[in-house]
Amino acid sequence: MTSPSSASTPSTPSRPRVVLGVSGGIAAYKACELLRLFTESGHDVTVVPTQAALEFVGAPTWAALSGKPVRTDVWSDVHEVPHVRLGQSADLVVVAPATADLLARAAHGLADDLLTSTLLTARCPVVLAPAMHTEMWEHAATVANVATLRARGVLVLEPAEGRLTGVDTGKGRLPEPAEIFAVATDVLARVSASSTTGYDSTTGYGSITGWGAAAALQDLAGRHVVVSAGGTREYLDPVRFLGNRSSGLQGYALARTAAARGAEVTLVAANVTLPDPAGVKVVRVETTEQMQAEVVAACQSADAVVMAAAPADFRPAAYADAKIKKTDDGAVPEVRLTQTPDILAGLARNRPHPGLVVVGFAAETGDESGSVMDHARAKLARKGCDLLVVNDVGGGKVFGETDNEAVVLGVDGDATPVPRGSKSALAHVIWDRVTTLLSER
């Protein structure tokens, strides 16, 4: 067997090499969609199912979708040493679904089939997407196995909540394939970026080997972060409300990228219709007061909070229990407004603990009293947060768009311009700044 020091190691070719492991759970059928997302976006994918997985989805399906033969044991094509070569040459290993049995075998270093052998030889990031019944996920053995894997640098996503097999409902559902794909490609992008900024891809990212190679990319592992997203609604009557155009896209990108960096993430989402990011706890709210209550509660155990939501600044002073009707005389009712709670300023002033890093967003436009940055610097001082992410939203820019550009202001006066790019790219810049602040506390 070739030693790790002399074996071929992951690289970042034009077609990243992905091993898609599939273990034996009913959610195996969803991995077909994940496979298609990888192949249609140009990835070179090798599917490695367990024997049990083939009871749910047959080998011809995997072969047809990947364009490659499918093997489950170490006895096929022995001369190619597949149980070693697959892991050594991969840029990323994703297992979806990862059953309780697979998590246990991986945590204990078993290598009794091609998939677990591949996991042992992987010199690249490994992402596991669990799927099982709630009781199995919450069992002490599974909890310990997940903790072991995470400690070794494996990114184990939190399962989603929802309908399970049969009539059961709870935590343990496989995250949606598109969200697993988003996390996986984010991890790949960070591997590619890190290979040009200090990691040595010829030796497995410096002195780190195996699953530990991914640990350097999971700088939020062991951290709990809170993210708010979307726009709150303040009701005038049962059918009318004051709101804004926030789509929640930036907040969801922040939550997704934090999960990819290993964090425990609580996402407080106001009136957002986006699918839940993989590995993220989502708390849904409508009004500013509801958001305040949930964010403050989540921050009690958090290391950082990023307020990417757009809470309404005002609400109607009075709420009508019945729909306000038009009148024949054309009279227009007068609507008086009152201010809503300032969640960001309140958190900055009354931090649950001194180590909490508080990040705000400022959607600003310039006017006769000052420029966008003039208003942003004044807001940073007024709110008392550690960082302020400034968006110029003149003409409706940013809202609902897939791209973003911003300036990240620090309380120390530092300003980091982030050129127009994906909202995930901006999210990583924000988390980079947050991790620096956390390391100083």
Task: Determine the pLDDT at residue 2.
Answer: 40
State the Cα–Cα distance between residues 151 and 224, nearest whole angstrom: 15
Q: Edge to edge, what strands does the sheet with 280-285 contain? A: 280-285, 264-270, 224-230, 304-307, 357-364, 387-392, 403-410, 415-422
| Residue 343 tokens, joined | 């969640």
Task: Determine the pLDDT at residue 369.
Answer: 82
Q: Over the stretch 228-260, which tens digit does the pLDDT of each residue have?
A: 999 999 999 999 999 988 899 999 999 999 999
Q: Over the stretch 371-406, which tens digit does the pLDDT of each residue have?
A: 888 888 999 999 999 999 998 876 555 555 778 889
Task: Determine the pLDDT at residue 8.
Answer: 42
Mean pLDDT for all residues in the chain? 88
Local confidence band at 428 (pLDDT 50, 70, 90 cut-offs): very high
**247-256, 341-350, 351-360, 369-378: the lowest-pLDDT one:** 369-378
Segment 131-148 mean pLDDT: 96
The beta-strand segments (E) located in 133-189 are 155-156, 160-163, 169-173
Q: Which residues pair with 404 in a beta bridge?
A: 421
Percent share of the chain, pLDDT over 90: 71
State pTM to two decimals.
Answer: 0.86
Catalytic residues: 244
DSSP state of 78: G
Is residue 196 pLDDT above 50, yes or no?
A: no
* Collapsed DSSP state (helix, strand, coil) of residue 209: coil
Contact 366, 372 (CB under 8 A): yes
Local confidence band at 305 (pLDDT 50, 70, 90 cut-offs): very high
Percent share of the chain, pLDDT over 70: 88
Could you tell me the domains of the chain?
A: 17-215 (3.40.50.1950), 224-439 (3.40.50.10300)
Local confidence band at 9 (pLDDT 50, 70, 90 cut-offs): very low
Segment 360-365 mean pLDDT: 87
Is residue 102 pLDDT above 60, yes or no?
A: yes
Local confidence band at 195 (pLDDT 50, 70, 90 cut-offs): low
